[in-house]
Amino acid sequence: MEQRERLRIGIQKNGRLADRSLALLSKAGVNFDLRKDRLLHASPDFPIDLMLVRDDDIPAYVNDGVCDLGIVGENAVQEAIWAAPVRHGHGVTKLQGLGFGACRLVIAVPERLPFDGLASLRGARVATSYPNCLNRLSTEEGLELECIQLAGSVEIAPGLGIADAVCDLVSTGGTLRSNGLREVFTLFETEAVLLRTERTLPAEMERDLARLALRLKGVTRAANAKYVMMNAPRSALERIQQVIPGMESPTVIPLSGDGDRVAIHAVAYEEIFWETLETLQACGASSILVLPIEKVIA
């Protein structure tokens, strides 16, 4: 294996994850000079090079050490590495979920087909782009499924009469429904993840990798985090903490000239709805502000 001095990260070239992956890296302060028809793109901000590839190839590149890091749907990792272990390579580790690209791998059957648990699929022909995940399910559940492997447009296979069911990725389920299919079983939920090789890198590169991973964690955490400020009677503090789940040890500041009322400042890691604000108001809170957070390092 060649010795590199700079980290290399693989992300999807075109598709559902491509823009979000670049935007996430940019928020972590890592931008790239994208040059057409180049395989590698250097970052002027951080010692890392970018490889733009097909999403399905990212797990294998990270496993083989071609890339040290990758951003890819966990579904692709399941299919390429975890559902049917590969003998060569260093192995890959999921460092963290990234909060986008959420969907699930499901079994769907024609609406008119009776379904009474997985056993009713015994011996069925199932169209999928996820043969390893499907075969693992078939073996675990003793279903003896016949896997019809298709590269895309899996949802039309039952209509064409070449499959009895499909095993496909869905987010809203609209594509399945418009093809007369209904979801009956979920194999797993998935989202985009940060993947690293299990190979130990030279110390300097390990340091850079840890720095980048920490920044990406900061960006992802910040995406869900809000800074909440309000004034309230001191006696309402406990109730308020129950109303805002995920609110970490708030700062409580006495308000000058008012013995009972305090200012409460806190970071909340869960979504705050209008209903939550109305409940806070009912607890006696006023001047409630909810602000976005740009970066977090815990």
State yes or no: residue 276 binds ligand ATP (CB under 6 A).
no
> Does residue 103 bind ligand ATP (CB under 6 A)?
yes
- Shortest Cβ distance from residue 169 to Zn ion (Å)? 10
CA distances from 273 to 244, 268, 270, 286, 294 (A): 10, 12, 10, 16, 19
* Of residues 185, 180, 188, 166, the one with CA closest to residue 118: 185
What DSSP element (H or E) covers 218? helix 203-224
> According to CB under 6 A, which one of 169, 181, 194, 236 is a site residue for ligand ATP?
169
Q: Which is nearer to Zn ion, 83 or 268 (CB)?
A: 83
Residue with smaller CB distance to Zn ion, 66 or 266: 66
Residue closer to ligand ATP, measured from CB, 74 or 208 = 74
141 in contact with ligand ATP (CB under 6 A): no
Which span sits near ligand ATP by CB under 6 A: 157-165, 169-177, 258-266, 281-289?
169-177
Options 10, 70, 73, 131; binder of ligand ATP; rule CB under 6 A: 73
- How many angstroms separate the CA atoms of 118 and 36, rounded? 48
Which residue is closest to ligand ATP by CB? 73
| Residue 187, binding choice from Zn ion, ligand ATP, none, Cβ under 5 to 8 Å by partner class | none
Q: 19 to 58, contacts with ligand ATP by CB under 6 A?
A: 54-56
Structure tokens belonging to residue 226? 């809000």
| 12 binds ligand ATP per the rule CB under 6 A | yes
Provide the Cα torsion 53, 25, 63, 134; round to 10°.
-70
Structure token digits, residue 268: 């909340």
* Torsion angle of C-alpha atoms 191, 192, 197, 200, degrees rounded to 10: -100
Name beta bridge partners: 42: 49
Position 171 contacts ligand ATP (CB under 6 A): yes
Nearest residue (CB) to ligand ATP, 17 versus 83: 17
Assign residue 254 a region (left: φ > 0; alpha: ψ between -120 and 50; beta: otherwise).
Answer: beta
